[in-house]
Structure 1
Amino acid sequence: MKLNLFLFQSILIILTSCNGQTRNKKKDANQFVKGDIVEVLGNNIMVVYQDNKGVYWFGSWKTGVYKYDGKTMVNYTIEHGLPNNRIDEIKEDEFGNLYFASYHPKHTIVKFDGNVFKAVLPVLSNNWQLKSTDIWFRNSYEFENKVYRYDGKTLHELQLPHPPNLPNPFGIYSIYKDSKENIWFGTNPVGVCRYDGKSFEWITEEDVTEFRNEGANGVRSIIEDKNGDFWFNTENRYSIYDTETLKSNTFYTRHESIGSLDGKNTSGLNEYLSTVKDNENNLWFVTYLSGVWKFDGTKITHYAVQDNSKDITLFSIYKDNKGTLWLGTHENGAYTYNGLRFEKFKIE
């Protein structure tokens, strides 16, 4: 009798174990997020990104993120695990994991390993470091002086120090890593801050952006040109110096630059939103209402971006792995540069 009871219990344990394994396998299989196959890209594209596998990702203002592998377009939304259908930034780590950041209505960051979306939660920290593998995220809409540094394990929520004599709260509108691995933070409304791993240097708002009747625009774009000079959201160029080699506290010089090189008043360049340097070291500036401007170091060229002969509003410019330029637009999807003009992107 005892032997029969023992055999029965053993069989029950084995069956239970197998059933558990089956459930776990089924659960793991269900973890793969497929997304929805779509025929067209959404209209409101804030950001374009190409990953290290050559796959394109398009972050939308309203309809989540789109993945395009050259054949199929897949759309991921809150129904597939995104916490928000607005995507402001797309980043990638050294292992090929992707990160999608949204800054409105609340700040969220999710990691996508190719299978599932997983929220990355911030931890209050004072661990300021500069590592080549770190990923930095801005905090645009909450004026709390915060940035985020992700080291692969922890999302450090860091507090930027105030610039001298400016106690205003501020938001972070742009982040840029220069050729010397320094990190630059473009803010609204207190200017630009450089962090070199040891100290913070500021160029205040009044010497960076163009003020309007409604106030400052904030530093939405930072780029370093082929000569090592910097451009912050305006027509002006800034030479940056190493303060350790200077007796003066001033670490920059502002130069009046590309304002009217085409013989016209290029006022649209006072407030460009996004900048990129192409493979020939030309600078490309994107404005919201005035198209795209190219500066080759000598002359400036304007490119109107239109749909049915009507100018369209633009968000961003991006250079992909092969050097092709892309535009994200407010209401017209994405555009690519064909060497002569920008044309609307369509699935082949």
Structure 2
Amino acid sequence: MNITSIKAILLVFVSSTFLSCNGQVKNEQISTENKGTELGESVVQLDNKIWVIFQDSKKNYWFGSNGEGIFYLKGKDLKQITTKNGLADNTIRGVQEDKQGNIFIETANGISKYDGKSVTTLHPIVSAKNNWKLERNDLWFGYNANDVYRYDGESLYELKLPRQNLKKTFGIDTLVSPFNNNNPYSVYKVNKDKDGNIWFGTFVAGAFRYDGQSFIWFGENELSMLPNGVAPGVRSIIQDKDGFFWLSNFISKYKIEPNTLEYEKIKGIEKGEPKYFNSGVSDKNDDLWMTNYRGRVWKYDGKTLSEFEINNEVKDVLLITIYQDNNGIMWLGTANDGVYKSNGKSFEKFKPFD
């Protein structure tokens, strides 16, 4: 099998190459305006549109909605946190926790930080230096950035990915959508692999891997605009037990050669359907779990692709995310029917107070 040639470009990091559009550095870093006096208001149920699920180190759950803020479940106490409590926006796209136990909430209007007492908003530093670094405890955010944010514990930096000749590579005009500010490099997914490298999945500019010194660009057609005009985006990046990387599609998987740092493209799961997944995780056995928007869940153990049932009675479930909690339990977030939780054999609707 041939190693992919020119498309696997090793991009050695040179700071002068990656110039930000804004040369001035913003000194302000954390806004202290609109601090909430309490962590949300008590509610009895979750919103139907849950795009993000996260369990923190204290075993509490966070459920991020698509427009109604974030829901915080501590035992049997469920609270809804919104802009009234200092949240930057009520549309949630990610939740992370740092080593100090602070919670970072990725919204449509910036990054909010909850330190256990109040919610504040981080303001990015935009610098001509384009300060790319990779430290062990860094947090990375893609949504609402241009292209990506890195938080080092003190400051939030806005960074740009290295630009490529997308029209030449893909043979299409990648400025195809009014979404994502017409930026083909808008980051949909950030993921850290087993070796600590950071991966970025973009709107239509393929995928990038950054090891702290250099970039590898994955410029494959199935990672960009499709012939029918659809732009699936690289929304999920997972690594299997054999070290192969799956980039939002079942069509191909990728292996990085350790000596040349080029990538090898290999056939994925040889099956007519499905072709793409929008969310995926690797479980404690390194088996892969993937979902698509039309309500299908698969598990892939390296040999067999198995489909799991979703026990719903009312409507077709539109899946947004799959998440594995601290105990290895799988959860599903949906665009129209709240949250589902695995019982080991199938997925059932989750109700906080049942």
**Aligned equivalent of 2:264, options 243, 249, 253:** 253
Match of 2:126 in 1: 124
Is the contact made by 1:41 and 1:333 (CA closer than 8 Å) also made in structure 2?
Answer: yes
Superposed CA deviations along residues 178-213 of structure 1, whole A, max 9, x for unmatched, are 111111110121101111111111011415357251
For 1:209 and 1:282, the matched residues in 2 are separated by 26
Aligned to 1:96: 101
Residues 1:137 and 2:136 aligned together:
no
Partner amino acid for 2:41? D
Measured after TM superposition, the shift of residue 97 of structure 1 is 0.4
Letter in structure 2 aligned against 1:119? T
RMSD: 1.9
1:319: how far off? 0.6
Map of 2:282 onto structure 1 = 277
* 1:83 CA displacement: 2.2
User: Residue by residue, what CA displacement relative to the aligned partner does 1:276-313 show, whole Å, maximum 9, x if unpaired?
Assistant: 01112210001000411110111111123242164310
1:80 partner letter:
N
Specify every segment of 5 or more residues in structure 1 that has no aligned partner in the other structure, as ranges. Answer: 1-29
Q: Mapping of 1:1-348 within 5 angstroms?
A: 32-103=37-108, 107-125=109-127, 126-139=130-143, 144=146, 146-164=147-165, 169-170=183-184, 171-208=186-223, 211-235=226-250, 236-242=252-258, 245-246=259-260, 251-260=262-271, 265-267=272-274, 270-308=275-313, 310-348=315-353
TM-score (norm 1): 0.82
What is the rounded CA distance, in whole Å, between the counterparts of 1:343 and 1:212 in structure 2? 37
Amino acid at match of 1:157: E
Structure-2 separation of matches of 1:253 and 1:60:
38
> Counterparts of 2:214 and 2:51 in 1: how far apart (Å)?
32
- Are the counterparts in 1 of residues 236 and 247 from structure 2 also a CA contact under 8 Å? yes
Q: CA deviation at 1:166?
A: 5.2
Which amino acid is 1:238 matched to?
Y
- Are 1:166 and 1:190, in contact at CA under 8 Å, matched by a contact in 2? no
SS where residue 66 of structure 1 aligns? strand
Q: Secondary structure at the match of 1:53?
A: coil
Paired letter, 2:125: V
Higher helix share: 1
Q: 338-347 or 158-167: which moved more?
A: 158-167
Query: Do the aligned partners of residues 82 and 50 (structure 1) sit closer, same or farther apart at CA in structure 2, a change above 3 Å counting?
Result: same
Q: Hey, what's the Cα distance between the residues in 1 that align with 2:36 and 2:333?
A: 31
- The answer as to whether partners of 1:304 and 1:311 remain within 8 angstroms in 2 is no
State which drifts further: 71-80 or 30-39: 30-39
| Aligned-partner Cα distance in 2 for 1:215–1:309 | 29
Q: What one-letter code is carried by the residue in structure 2 that aligns with 1:237?
A: K
Contact 2:203 2:224 in 1 (8 A): no
| Normalised TM-score (structure 2) | 0.81
In the alignment, the residues of structure 2 paired with residue 289 and residue 259 of structure 1 have an alpha-carbon distance, to the nearest angstrom, of: 20
Give the share of equivalent positions with the same residue, in percent.
39
Amino acid at match of 1:49: F
> Which stretches of structure 1, 4 residues or longer, exceed 3 Å deviation after superposition?
164-169, 207-210
Query: Hey, what does 1:5 align to over in structure 2?
Result: none
Render the CA deviation track for 1:239-266: whole Å, top value 9, x for unaligned.
1123xx23xxx71122212132xxxx32
Deviation, structure 1 residue 45: 0.2
Q: Which protein has the larger Cα radius of gyration, Structure 1 or Structure 2?
A: 1
Partner SS state of residue 79, structure 1? helix
SS of 2:278's equivalent in the other structure is strand
SS of 2:221's partner is helix
